[in-house]
Amino acid sequence: MEHIILYGAGERGRAIYGYMESLGKSHIIYGFCDKHAKEIGSIGEDKKQVWTLEELRQLDVNCLYCITPVDADAASEIREVLSGEKIIDFSELLDMAGLDRADCNRNFCAFTHIDEMDKYFQDAEDSLDVFWDRDSVFYRMFQKLELDNVIELACGRGRHVEKYMNQSGEITLVDILQKNIDACRGRFRNNTHIRYYKNNGYDLKELEAGAYSALFTYDAMVHFELLDIWSYLKDIYRVLRHGGRALFHHSNNRSDYKASFGTAVYGRSFMSQEVFAYLAYKAGFEILEQQVIDWGIPSYDCITLVEKPGKGGKYAES
């Protein structure tokens, strides 16, 4: 019998275990492997044991290791340590639990943002210059959007809103998490021109066709699955008016076609500048501009500005 071991009992390892636990699938996890096993002891309501690699090898059990750290150097080091052992990735773990890969990669991303990302959202409030500094490529492209009826996709706790709300007409904040939508409702409760929409993570089906002047998304689509991006692009095309524009901050991680939020370095899913342009073009958009940027790892992200062809937008002829 093969026993599944999560290698790494840190934040990501615990998140994977917590997600499996939330689905009633924690029984497939035999335990954890971590060099700090003695200090940790056990994890979870059912007290999953944490061993060192040496202890596991002494147990003489047949193990499958799922590597959990998303830091590139740490993951590479672990793979060297596990040379000769059987290694599975997050998607294979989902298969063994009888779960759908595409749905679970999306839902796991959402799950990690419910409670465990509170500190991230707080810290992110203090690091907005990369997006809104006047010399930023994000800011330069954002100035090419017409904001009379704008959608912010994957808005989180609304940290970007105050940067553009005073120059906008109607604003629609969209997020997959009700907790984020509720936080934004409270934060902007005195602003009557802001609307809120908890969506499903892959389309905008409740929004009116041809009604919006622009859409943008920052620091979120980098984690989206390629198939979800394709679904979004088609629906974004539907809701934008002719001449409307969309600005996307997405992954440029072309190193591994298996990459997803659950397995990739910094959670960057498989995508590239060229593939994104192809998908946007197939959805009906014109590609106005793309720029690859350094984001943790050189050339790991990209910003793409697109337009829905036709008359009707302030910038349609520019």
The model's pLDDT over 251-300, given as tens digits with 9 standing for 90+, comes to: 999 988 888 887 777 888 999 999 999 999 999 999 999 999 987 778 99
How far is 67 from 164, CA to CA, in rounded Å?
40
Sheet with 29-33: list strands edge to edge.
42-43, 48-51, 29-33, 2-7, 62-67, 86-88
What domains are there in the chain, each with its CATH number?
A: 2-99 (3.40.50.720), 122-307 (3.40.50.150)
Mean pLDDT of the residues in the chain: 90
**45-91: pLDDT as tens digits:** 889 999 999 999 999 889 999 988 777 778 888 889 998 899 998 88
How far is 82 from 298, CA to CA, in rounded Å?
27
Which residues, at least 6 apart from 273, have a Cβ–Cβ distance to it below 8 Å? 252, 290, 292, 302, 304
pLDDT at 314 (0 to 100):
46
Which among 256, 266, 263 has a CA at the least distance from the CA of 294? Answer: 266
Confidence of residue 317 (pLDDT cuts 50, 70, 90): very low
Q: What share of the chain is helix, strand, coil (3-state, %, to 5)?
A: 40, 25, 35
pLDDT at 122 (0 to 100):
62
